[in-house]
Amino acid sequence: KKSIFPQDYKGQKLAEQIFQGIILVSAVIGFIYGYITEQFGWTVYIVMAGFALSCLLTLPPWPMYRRNPLKWLPVQESGTEEKKTADRKPKRHTKS
C-alpha cells in the first residue's frame, strides 16, 4: 500500500536545501536591487516572490523528493493476543 506522504529523508534534505537556497538568493537580489533603486518595497516584493517560488517547488510531494522511500516492517497480526486476553476472567478484589 502506497502512502500519499512517503517518507524519504534524502528528499526532505534536498527540499530543505532548495528552499533555503532560493530564499537566500532572492534576499540578496532583493537587497541589491532595493539598494540601487532606493526602494525598500522592491526588496520585500522580491523576497516574497522567492518565498512563493520556493514553496511551489518544495511543498508538494514531487517525484524528485520520493526516490528513496523507507522500508517499513510488515504488519503483525495481533488477533491471537486479543483472543487470549478476552478469554481471561476478570480478577475480583477481596475486602480486607
Positive/negative CA dihedral, 43, 45, 47, 49: negative
Quick check: is 42 in a domain? yes
What is the reported pLDDT for 2? 58
What is the reported pLDDT for 15? 92
Quick check: is 25 in a domain? yes
Residue range 12-51, pLDDT digits in tens = 999 999 999 999 999 999 999 999 999 999 999 999 999 9
Quick check: is 80 in a domain? no
| Burial of 33: CB neighbours in 10 Å, binned 0-12, 13-18, 19+ | middle
Query: What cell was used for 90?
Result: 476478570
Quick check: is 87 in a domain? no
What gap in Å lies between CA 44 and CA 27, rounded to an integer? 9
Quick check: is 67 in a domain? no
Quick check: is 88 in a domain? no
Mean pLDDT on 66-75:
82
Total domain count for the chain? 1
Quick check: is 84 in a domain? no
Quick check: is 75 in a domain? no
Domain span at residue 17 reads: 9-62
